Structure 1
Amino acid sequence: MTLTLESAVTLLNQHHMLREVISGEVWTTDSAKLPQRSFTNISYDTREVTPDTLLFCKGRFSPKYLESTNNLGLSCYVAQEDFSQYTSATGIIVKNATQAMSLLSAAYFDFPQEQLTVIGITGTKGKTTTAYFTQAILNAHSHGKTALLSSVDNCLDGVHYAESDLTTPESMDLFRMMHQAVANGMRYLVMEVSSQAYKVDRVYGLHFDIGAFLNISPDHISSIEHPTFEDYLYCKRQIIANSSRMVIGADSQHFSLLKDDAANDGIPVSTFALRSSNADRQAADVVAISSEDIRPAFDLVANGESVGTFTLSIEGDFNEANAAAAVAIVRSIGVPIEESSLQAMEKIRISGRMERFISNDGTIAYVDYAHNYASIKALVDFVYQRYGQHHPRITLVTGSAGNKAIDRREGIVKAAQDRIARFIFTTEDTDTETNEEICAQLMSYVTNPSVEAGVILDRTSAIEEAYRDAQAHSDRLNILLITGKGEERWIKEMNHHVPFEGDNNIVARMFKEESK
């Protein structure tokens, strides 16, 4: 993998991205006037610099970092301003450094997207589950030739999964992983696409063979994410113009706007939906038909014809909707809808997502990543649908992320307070905002005098207290909802990762100890 100074400048000029190249006394936009130079490494980390590295100075980059690269032999950097006073390296000055990084990373890694069928999935909730379902179906169809990039795990060989750091990786990391997937013989790539991926240009220049827009509701609204819901929705809508075909949830808010976007760009659209009967199954191209009775089975209908009855390992009607989305996606690619391939999604389990535990005394716990109004409401709705006839006593153990998505806090409380017995607010991830402040704000939104609410900052203690309280109310069916962290083995405290047992491990340990 190599990239030359000449080819980099030529590509940037083609995309009207280049301002000028500064090499000593020479300022130019003409690649022919530049020295011959090849790059066998690209990076956005000054600690990784070698003489053959092309360094990207993006985001909140401090030019003082360049001083340390002089001894490392840095020959060239990409930035939005001239840093000649800090380094003698050649500067490729561009209009937008993050966009330039995406374009040049794709070139450095030999445009791996052109050798894959790339599927991008966005939406407020359901991205991860839909991505896993889609990968499972395509893996079955392609005999293990489908890669996955998700907020939980990345899989680059169709078999092995490694924990991921971001919902959508930085562009350089994204194209590196795509290149590895191609090297591993992958034919398909299924990936989640966050609103931030478009906000900060992580997928700039990337075109999807299929884009999926599942749903939309307010989230990620804060001073460091999206200032308004309109901005959040606008960023997510960018997937439409950057896809060859779209799959859109027929019941999504602002559905008509999404279809207008697609029509304006000439993008064909398929739809999916969840329905409770056959009566309105024609309302979308692919429909999951759920019975009002206690699940698990549901029917899938495509173009008015049944494709089979399925039972998921992940509970919740919202996951049946995700299954319908996955089927609509693979249909849009042109993959035959065969029940044998579709059955692969029945086996999918995602640690920390609707993960159910039952203790020896009958207490039921669900561990899930629910973290906003829409996902908490869907979770509580599910509990009442599944267990409502038993009049369960529900305890919600939850927190909220610090320094971002401030609107989530009121939404979490609003979604649950009139239908549960107790809140236990606890620690979640934060940068500089304290968990005491976050939990106090959560408490301030509790207005129902009938619901018990309190704060236990230590997350392990909070979960253990929820179970002790359940045992003290053994005259009723107790359901514990533990949300926000799932299987994650760390908590971000004051911008540092602190080891953590994991919500699912804590529940498994408690219930096992209790059953001895």
Structure 2
Amino acid sequence: MESNRSGLCLASAAQLLAQHGLLREIIAGEVWTLDAHDLPNSETPFTTITYDTREVKPGSLLFVKGRFDPRFLDGIDDQGLACYVAETDHEDRAAAPGLIVDDVHKAMSLLSAEFFGRPQDSLTVVGITGTKGKTTTDYFTHAILNAFSNGHAAMTSSIAVCLDGKTWEPSHLTTPESLDAFRMMRTAVDNGMKYLVMEVSSQAYKVHRVHGLTFDVGAFLNISPDHISPIEHPTFEDYFHCKRQIIANSRAMVIGADSDHLGLLLQAAEQHDAPTTTFGIDAADGGHESQTRVDMIMTPDPSRKTGFDITFHDDTQSFELDMLGEFNFLNAAAAVAIAHRAGVPFDDPAMHAIERVQVPGRMERFVGNDGLHVYVDFAHNYMSTKALVDEMLRVYGERHPRITLVAGTTGGKAIDRREGIVKGALGRAESFVFTLDDPNFEDPRKICEEMASFVSDESAEVQIIVDREQAIVTAIREAREHADRFNIVLVIGKGHETRNIIDGKTVYWPGDATIVRRELGLN
């Protein structure tokens, strides 16, 4: 059960918010004040904190955030509410004092950290951002740090959460709400963890889920247009600006030397006095920005489909992954650079923990008895789709594979993905099957029709099968009909996910891998 590690109370909460320029005033009935001591019980510690009115108990501090319906506060005093934090007063519905602030998300992050006793101060905290590769790099980095610390590394990701170095539970957000993040950190510290590795989304900075949190090591992997929509980021500039806030909030940085706008990233690191390690593919190939120093160089080994070398200063280490994906070599190099910045010697055996990592829904391979290869992957934009198809041709190109792409995309956001996904496979995939993938309030058929309109290759087969299960089954069965060719079916977009968002509601989905296993007879 959670406990108030700092003795956070009305008075100390108001003081902390005032120190950060967030407090407007405290309202309790007719009393409007800046001094919490004008109110009774101002030094009484809160018993719990929450952003869900259903969880309010005697002594609770409640954060009123988002699209909040004030009617949820009806009867809240009977539940024992001690105080609420909000951007507007609710004295008409709650007798408890309100801490009125300029930004409730910033306030929640600061107060949550304090309530849980600033657990980040007892951990080496790593934050990883980038348009693609965050989850895989997160898993790789955690594996290294967990091996180095003998099982004392925690991790949060868009797939799973591990707070004791060994037990995994499903995750729901790329970056958790700040209150949940600091609760997880508290649990990790109480479990004896020394490290915490977490993915950091652009939305985490957009809505201040990591406000006030300084990473011991931050990583910026890459950047390309994504999440551009009226409800996410209005422009690429806004998306990029939010993502690179990790630089201003990290003590040290790891940056991909192949990233677009590398010069700006390095300028930001210098501006914020963050010592930086760069990583990239063969600096000698001329692919990096002019005069860029590449500290950790990854060199693929053509003789090994999953093998590569990493050179750091005058030392070279060889690695062999348990995952396909040349782009994963770069994710592995990022993880090695991050772990080194976190204190792991480059030649430590723990670095080779990456060789045993498998990530659900990331390059997950299934092979039927007839040799049909099906990959389930989270690829959901131009950059990741292109990288996936590139990898198929790198590994299987000499077999002249017939590639089928099963894909959909989200409704109401990231509109540019509709063309990007198609563009990433265009001219290489011979068959496209467009289907449902989190359409939300949009008509999934219209999304599919829009995606189909971008297939300019007249020789490519194009189908729209809205039912996702039927789309996967059809793609596999039609691939089998081309037995004279080596066939690969790529089922992309959902990865490990077991839900679809339809008409604003979460609808259960058994998962792409489940359907693939059943159709291939692998269950």
Return the match for 1:301 from 293, 305, 311. 311
Aligned: 1:108 with 2:118: no
Can you list the C-alpha shifts for 1:192-228, whole angstroms capped at 9, x where unaligned? 0000000001000000000000000000000100000
Aligned: 1:433 with 2:438: no
Q: Secondary structure of 2:81's partner?
A: coil
Amino acid in structure 2 at the alignment position of 1:301: T
Can you list the C-alpha shifts for 1:5-26, whole angstroms capped at 9, x where unaligned? 1110111111111100012222
Find the counterpart in structure 2 of residue 212 from structure 1.
Answer: 219
Moved more, 416-425 or 492-501: 492-501
Sequence identity percentage? 53
Find the counterpart in structure 2 of residue 422 from structure 1.
Answer: 431
Return the match for 1:21 from 26, 34, 37. 26
Q: 8 Å contact 1:277–1:289 — kept in the other structure?
A: no
Aligned: 1:326 with 2:335: yes
Find the counterpart in structure 1 of residue 301 from structure 2.
Answer: 291
The two structures have a TM-score, normalised by structure 2, of: 0.95
Amino acid in structure 2 at the alignment position of 1:385: R
Q: 8 Å contact 1:20–1:94 — kept in the other structure?
A: yes
Give the Cα separation in 1 of the matches to 2:505 and 2:333: 39
Can you list the C-alpha shifts for 1:240-282, whole angstroms capped at 9, x where unaligned? 0000000000010000000111111111111001239799999
What does 1:148-187 correspond to in 2, within 5 Å? 148-187=155-194
Aligned: 1:232 with 2:242: no
Give the Cα separation in 1 of the matches to 2:230 and 2:137: 29
Alpha-carbon offset, residue 59 of structure 1: 1.4
Aligned: 1:477 with 2:516: no
What does 1:391-402 correspond to in 2, within 5 Å? 391-402=400-411
Return the match for 1:4 from 5, 9, 30. 9
Q: Secondary structure of 2:75's partner?
A: helix
Can you list the C-alpha shifts for 1:470-516, whole angstroms capped at 9, x where unaligned? 111111111101101123222222222222221112212222269xx
Q: Secondary structure of 1:208's partner?
A: coil
Find the counterpart in structure 2 of residue 504 from structure 1.
Answer: 513
Q: 8 Å contact 1:170–1:202 — kept in the other structure?
A: yes
Q: 8 Å contact 2:283–2:294 — kept in the other structure?
A: no
Q: 8 Å contact 1:424–1:455 — kept in the other structure?
A: yes
Can you list the C-alpha shifts for 1:442-467, whole angstroms capped at 9, x where unaligned? 12222221111111111111111111
Find the counterpart in structure 2 of residue 35 from structure 1.
Answer: 40
Q: Secondary structure of 1:75's partner?
A: strand
Aligned: 1:371 with 2:380: yes
Give the Cα separation in 2 of the matches to 1:261 and 1:437: 42
* Corresponding residue pairs, total: 513
Find the counterpart in structure 1 of residue 130 from structure 2.
Answer: 123
Amino acid in structure 1 at the alignment position of 2:261: H
Amino acid in structure 2 at the alignment position of 1:303: H
Return the match for 1:450 from 444, 459, 478. 459
Q: Secondary structure of 2:463's partner?
A: strand
Structure 1 stretches of 4+ moved >3 Å: 276-283
Q: Secondary structure of 1:481's partner?
A: strand
Give the Cα separation in 2 of the matches to 1:35 and 1:323: 56
Give the Cα separation in 2 of the matches to 1:131 and 1:234: 22
Find the counterpart in structure 1 of residue 268 from structure 2.
Answer: 261
Alpha-carbon offset, residue 339 of structure 1: 4.6
Alpha-carbon offset, residue 33 of structure 1: 2.1
Give the Cα separation in 1 of the matches to 2:520 and 2:410: 27
> CA 1:504/1:360 → structure 2, altered by over 3 Å: closer, same or farther?
same
Give the Cα separation in 1 of the matches to 2:234 and 2:208: 17
Give the Cα separation in 2 of the matches to 1:151 and 1:274: 26
> CA 1:254/1:82 → structure 2, altered by over 3 Å: closer, same or farther?
same
Return the match for 2:359 from 346, 350, 361. 350
Q: 8 Å contact 1:276–1:292 — kept in the other structure?
A: no
> CA 1:420/1:106 → structure 2, altered by over 3 Å: closer, same or farther?
same
Moved more, 450-459 or 288-297: 288-297
Q: 8 Å contact 1:434–1:494 — kept in the other structure?
A: no
Amino acid in structure 2 at the alignment position of 1:173: D
Give the Cα separation in 2 of the matches to 1:304 and 1:356: 36
Amino acid in structure 2 at the alignment position of 1:19: R
Give the Cα separation in 2 of the matches to 1:314 and 1:395: 21
Amino acid in structure 1 at the alignment position of 2:425: A
Can you list the C-alpha shifts for 1:304-356, whole angstroms capped at 9, x where unaligned? 321x2111111111100001001111111222123521121111001111011
Give the Cα separation in 2 of the matches to 1:239 and 1:349: 27
- Cα RMSD after superposing both structures: 1.7
Can you list the C-alpha shifts for 1:41-85, whole angstroms capped at 9, x where unaligned? 111111111221111111111222211313323231111111112
Aligned: 1:248 with 2:255: yes
The two structures have a TM-score, normalised by structure 1, of: 0.96
Find the counterpart in structure 1 of residue 499 from structure 2.
Answer: 490
Give the Cα separation in 1 of the matches to 2:405 and 2:287: 35
Give the Cα separation in 1 of the matches to 2:11 and 2:80: 20
Q: Secondary structure of 1:476's partner?
A: coil
Q: 8 Å contact 1:487–1:505 — kept in the other structure?
A: no
Give the Cα separation in 2 of the matches to 1:334 and 1:403: 43
Return the match for 1:47 from 42, 54, 62. 54
Give the Cα separation in 2 of the matches to 1:271 and 1:82: 48
> CA 1:6/1:276 → structure 2, altered by over 3 Å: closer, same or farther?
closer
Alpha-carbon offset, residue 236 of structure 1: 0.3
Give the Cα separation in 2 of the matches to 1:401 and 1:293: 39
Q: 8 Å contact 2:433–2:471 — kept in the other structure?
A: yes
What does 1:128-147 correspond to in 2, within 5 Å? 128-147=135-154
Alpha-carbon offset, residue 291 of structure 1: 2.6
Q: Secondary structure of 2:155's partner?
A: strand
Q: 8 Å contact 1:148–1:156 — kept in the other structure?
A: yes
Find the counterpart in structure 1 of residue 346 from structure 2.
Answer: 337
